[in-house]
Amino acid sequence: MTRQPPAPEPLEARLVQAEALCARRGARLTKLRRDVLGLILASPEPVGAYALLDRMREQGASLQPPTVYRALDFLMAQGLVHRLERLNAFVGCHDDAPHDHAAQFFLCTACGKAEEVDDPAIAEAVAATAARRGFAPLRATVEVEGLCAGCALSGSDRGGSSTSPDGPGPHRPHSH
Amino acid sequence: MTRQPPAPEPLEARLVQAEALCARRGARLTKLRRDVLGLILASPEPVGAYALLDRMREQGASLQPPTVYRALDFLMAQGLVHRLERLNAFVGCHDDAPHDHAAQFFLCTACGKAEEVDDPAIAEAVAATAARRGFAPLRATVEVEGLCAGCALSGSDRGGSSTSPDGPGPHRPHSH
DNA sequence: GTCATGCCGCTACGTTATAACATGGCCCAA
DNA sequence: TTGGGCCATGTTATAACGTAGCGGCATGAC
């Protein structure tokens, strides 16, 4: 029990769910697209397009960048994955009935994880400001960088933490 | 009076202001950095790094990408410019005393303009959600794509508009 | 059957960003 | 006045991210 892969079981369930969703919409979740979605869902962190490409190739596929991007476009159109602009990377959508829904992301610079949140208060605040300006919003990107609860604790809690000896080492420096 | 350049006068004033600000902080707004800032402020729309590079070269400078990126890094560190993640482009900061201040951006897909807003309600909504999750935010990216007031009017107002005959032509398609 | 459509393979290229190393100026102290 | 530290910039090369466009092949409609 040195480390338990964080719930390997739901993966297949989520794929099945995605299949059903696409079927209901008349969209075709092909093997390729399903594989890409699987890799994204299996990743504990956001994945870049080229990382996906590499992983697909490791699994024996022989693809070029456009193929992966097309699959990603499809998955985003179905609301099954989100793109994180700050990271140029992709995450699975956490929503059960995904489509347009507005989402916000909290990106931990220490552990690299991205938490999706669907907070109406934020969406409403944005919508209200837009309305006040006569702006007709189509999509909102909300991405907050910082330290997640776990990393904030182990980082500031010097003198009692059992986890990391000197706080969260930056995940990918990612200067930007 | 066929077209009036939108306020050419404040440009120099803003540069002087930026200079003063940097001086106060002990930061050096060199000629290069000042030139880059000038180009960004002079642009009615967000500018990409390579567009800046081209314009600098047109003005006789001979630079490479890293030089521009370093200048941009400096200007961002001083809060004088912001980066728009959706566009991979940069805009001048509208704040008078710029630093960390949280900002939100409304990006018009029709005319390409970016409006900076500094709405405490949005910032607070984000902060509240973060706090609820134990997340320690460092920076928030809020970028809303849609139609600005002007373009929304001329686009939907078919039958009476005097401006554009068939609505706002998309600025840069920018698939993403 | 054959036709349209949608998906995918592939080549090639465009765009955005950074690593790594070299140079040059400025200030200060020895 | 020389040498060293520091910062900004120059230079080369390459990494990382993304797309245009064409052709072939399967599937389902008629």
How far, in Å, CA of B16 to CA of A2, rounded? 60
Q: Which of A32-46, B58-72, B156-170 has the lowest mean pLDDT?
A: B156-170
* Domains, chain B, with CATH or none: 1-96 (1.10.10.10), 102-176 (3.30.1490.190)
How far, in Å, CA of A65 to CA of A52, rounded? 9
B116 contact A CB<8A: no
pLDDT at residue A166, as a whole number = 47
B102 contact A CB<8A: no
Contact A147 B138 (CB under 8 A): yes
Count CA atoms within 13 Å of residue A146 on its CB side: 24
Residue A174 has pLDDT above 90, yes or no: no
- How close does chain A come to B144, measured CA to CA in Å? 4
Point out the nucleotide closest to A49 (alpha carbon to C1′).
D17
Point out the nucleotide closest to A27 (alpha carbon to C1′).
C6
B141 contact A CB<8A: yes
Residue B59, SS3 per DSSP: coil
Pick from A85, A138, A123: which is nearest to B122 by CA?
A123
Q: How confident is the model at residue B101 (pLDDT cuts 50, 70, 90)?
A: confident
Question: Can you give the distance from the CA of residue B149 to the C1' of nucleotide D4 in angstroms?
Answer: 59
pLDDT at residue A3, as a whole number = 54
